[in-house]
Amino acid sequence: MAAGSDRAAPRRLLGRLRVVMAEAETPQARFSAIVRIVAAELAAEVCSIYVMRPGEILELFATEGLRQDAVHRTRLRVGEGIVGTVAASGQALNLPDAQNHPAFAYRAETGEEAFASMLAVPVLRGGQVLGVIAVQNRDVRLYHEDEAEALETLAMLLAELVVGLSRSGGSEQGERPRALNVTLPRVFEGVGLTPGIVLGPVLCHGARPAQATVLADDPARERDRLEAAIAEMHAGLDALVTKGIGRGSASAETRDVLEAYRLIAADAGWLARIRDSVIAGLTAEAAVERELGELRARMRRVSDAYLRERLADLEDAGGRLLDHLAGRVQAEGAAPGFILLARRLGPAELLDYHARGLAGLLLEEGSPTAHATIIARALEVPLLAGGRGAVDAAEAGEAAVLDAEEGRLILRPDSEIVYGYEAAISARAVRRAVLAESALLPPLTRDGVRISVMMNAGLLADVGHLAGSGADGIGLFRTEIAWLARGGLPDAEAEEQFYARVVEGAAGRPVLFRTIDLGGDKLLPGFPHGEEENPALGWRSLRIGLDRPAMLRRQLRALLRAAAGARTLRVMFPMVTTVEEFRAAKAMLRAETASLRRAGRAPEHVLAGAMLEVPALVWQMPALLDEADFLSIGSNDLTQFLFAADRGNARVAGRYDFLSAPMLDLLAHVAALCRAASVPVSLCGEAASRPLEALAVLGVGIRSVSMPAGAVPAVKAMVRSLDLSAFSRFLAGLRRSAAGGHSLRTEIAAWARDHGITL
């Protein structure tokens, strides 16, 4: 056919292939017939199919137009040649002159030197590349989009045939051969994003039955089925957004997440591509699976955290559409109390699972700012990020332990492990009950020192826990979390109203608002970051605010207006690296305060503080303390920057201890300087949430700590059992005797145990 002249080509091609699939008896016969038909339909002089073999080798399995003795003989490594490049990237290549492409790899036995143009398409299934199909012509030409569409549609059909090649004899579709050690325990390491420990059966997200029918017998009927399922999906999402996850403050952020998700699910682009595939002759399910396969391949190539999140939401919506097509409005699986294992998960799916009794969650590709993480945090579902390979290794219904405290998933634990965790969970329940009784008692040490125990927050749902937690106030309010939940910047009025609700919810208790801390793994649309070799050390936090002063000024105005009246507004700037940066940010705050005071819309008192997260700031402390009204130490970033160890990397996150002599010496030095300058200093972050680490922080002279609300009762109990002066003397001597930068954890824990400290 002439290039681009036949819009019915995909449908006619699939019709001819349906006959071949019914008549050919062996896989080789089917593949050989396919390449002949494709070559004829697309007016190609060559059509070849390469199949992925073990060791990431692509084997020429069938060809029309190349030499037949090259079949099963010609092999390419993934990444080698044009075919290998397509397999490595998961993306098609349309080349008018393939032999002059830098990736071209000549194979003399094929006889392909006579052909110039080439269109190569990956064969994808579940985001995995199983092979490549390619067509070639002697003429220098660019293949038309209709031809590319036909070949992409065929590639989906080929995926099922390629899977059949590697299937063991007699195995049913979708069966996985199990290894001999499937009954042995397996441990997967990760990073806990929401704390908690859960025992229960596992359920693997996305474990839907394999699609058996690819070609449609009645395309008109398939179109009707697809449209009905799309309508049901949208109706279900509308109901979910209306319902949210409950009443009150928790619904605001989750509704923002779901509204953004609903817009993505309604996007015309991905639905149009699915409709086109059905028109071409695929079943509705196969058309959705084809789109999902392309999405997964794109996700492998995208490093931008925001774009990956949007693609994950689209993948989630595609899964929901498949469920509606199959009549599975809710996924089948384990009884309430199950642990969900998933590579990625969208917010709507998470809410569905939660309604069915979700107890714990592992996300292999989870991140602190993913939509699912925001929702899991609001629902207080223990969440572990990482654990690569867990989804593939698990079988539905198998027992598991999800320990988001220590960062591990134990699959198929033996009886001793189960017994140990059951005892630990029981003890934690008793401990929580005891702590709840003393949560509202003042955090006063045995020798009469009053400690300020604050809580961290980022959602209105968190503010609702303030009164019951017994915290003195909010020592860290992460303002960017609500922005990330919305999927974009709020308008000025909505932002002001949000901060006003936080101030009102605090009911007179102090709130330390941290200005936008974007960048790194927290990205929003409208921030053209580009590729950064090390985002954690790149354009983020206050650096963005100073480079985008209009955005920072707008946030400062919203904070000032929200706290207007006889109140004190506390604003702290994150990731301050030089005193000059702090002065510049403080000058913006002063200017906005002066402007609003003239209009009568400013707070009575405005305090400006800096976050100490970058070690370089320690050597600028005298100048900083002349400028700052207070200082807050961010233990997470300070620890990772001090030791040059990525806290999100499971391999090194636990390698260097917060309770090492270098870290404690640094904290003691900062505390002494702040005390001499009469500048209040606090420590927030994960370290403050663990009683043993909080004990050490108090021992070096810091008298204020901030942590998640759930950790407040335990830290207060530790404070009330402590003779601080005695421990401070012990720790000072221990630090003097320490050498080599080793951890002091064992010695501190032994002292606490010997002196009856509640940990």
Report percent pLDDT > 70 for the chain.
Answer: 80
User: What pLDDT score does 469 carry?
Assistant: 84
315 vs 726, residue with greater confidence: 726
Rounded to whole angstroms, how far apart are CA atoms 709 and 183? 39
Is 270's pLDDT higher than 80?
A: no
Tell me which of 113-117, 133-137, 419-423, 552-556 is least confident: 419-423
pLDDT, tens digit, 9 for 90 and up, residues 12-61: 666 677 666 666 668 888 889 889 988 988 889 999 999 998 878 999 99
- Choice among 75-84, 439-448, 458-467, 602-611 with the minimum mean pLDDT: 458-467
Q: Which residue has the tokens 């400062």?
A: 556
Which of 401, 472, 336, 405 is closest to 691 using CA atoms?
A: 405
pLDDT at 212 over 60: no
- Supply the DSSP string of 704-746, one letter for each residue: EEEE-GGGHHHHHHHHHT--HHHHHHHHHHHHHH--TT-B-HH
Range among 450-464, 532-546, 722-736 rated most confident: 722-736
List all residues 6 or more positions away from 628 whose beta carbon is below 8 Å from its beta carbon.
Answer: 582, 608, 609, 610, 679
Choice among 203-217, 264-278, 293-307, 390-404 with the minimum mean pLDDT: 293-307
Q: Read off the pLDDT of residues 116-126 as tens digits, 9 standing for 90 and up.
A: 999 999 988 76
Helices (H), 338-414: 347-355, 371-379, 390-393
Mean pLDDT of 409-430: 83
pLDDT above 60: residue 4: no
What confidence score (pLDDT) does residue 191 get? 87
In this prediction, residue 336 carries a pLDDT of 86
Which of 136-140, 174-178, 383-387 has the weakest average pLDDT? 174-178
Cβ(316)–Cβ(349) under 8 Å?
A: yes
**What's the confidence (pLDDT) of residue 249?**
41
pLDDT of 202 > 70? The answer is: yes
Q: pLDDT tier at 438 (50, 70, 90 boundaries)?
A: confident
pLDDT for 585 beyond 60: yes
The pLDDT assigned to 406 comes to 83
Is residue 255 predicted with pLDDT exceeding 70?
Answer: no
Least confident of 58-62, 120-124, 361-365, 462-466: 462-466
The CA radius of gyration of the chain, in Å to the nearest whole number, is 30
Q: Residue 321: pLDDT above 70?
A: yes
Give the per-residue SS3 of 435-450. Answer: HHHHCCCCCECCCCCE
Residue 1: how many other CB atoms lie within 10 Å: 17
| pLDDT greater at residue 114 or residue 755 | 755
- Work out the number of other CB atoms within 10 angstroms of the CB of residue 668: 20
What is the percent of the chain where pLDDT is above 90?
Answer: 38
Of 476 and 160, the structure prediction assigns the larger pLDDT to: 476
- For residue 447, pLDDT over 80 is answered with yes
Report, as an integer, the average pLDDT of 691-702. 96
CA angle 171/60/12 to nearest 5° reads: 80
Mean pLDDT of the chain: 82
What does the pLDDT average to over 677-702? 94
Contact predicate 344/365, CB 8 Å? yes
Report, as an integer, the average pLDDT of 412-431: 82
pLDDT of residue 46: 95
pLDDT-based confidence at residue 173 (cuts at 50, 70, 90): very low
Cβ atoms of 411 and 341 within 8 Å: the answer is: no
Worst-scoring range by mean pLDDT, 217-221, 358-362, 747-751? 217-221
Average pLDDT rounded to a whole number, residues 178-205? 77
pLDDT surpassing 80 at residue 471: yes
Give me the pLDDT at residue 391, please.
85
- Give the pLDDT band (50/70/90) at residue 424: confident
5 versus 665: the higher-pLDDT residue is 665
User: Is the predicted pLDDT of residue 213 greater than 70, yes or no?
Assistant: no
Ranking 22-31, 234-243, 398-407 by mean pLDDT, the lowest is 234-243
The sheet that has 117-125: what strands, in order across it?
A: 75-77, 57-64, 46-53, 128-137, 117-125, 93-95
The C-alpha atoms of residue 663 and residue 671 are separated, in whole angstroms, by 12
Q: Which residue has the higher pLDDT, 651 or 675?
A: 675
Active centre residues (catalytic): 371, 684
Give 439 or 614, the one with higher predicted confidence: 614
Helix (H) or strand (E) holding 543: helix 542-547
pLDDT one-digit tens code per residue, 605-644: 999 999 999 999 999 999 999 999 999 999 988 998 898 8
pLDDT (mean) for 701-726: 93
Residue 5 confidence (pLDDT) above 60: no
> Pairing mode, if any, of strands 383-386 and 117-125?
unpaired
Half-sphere exposure of 450 (CA within 13 A, CB side): 4
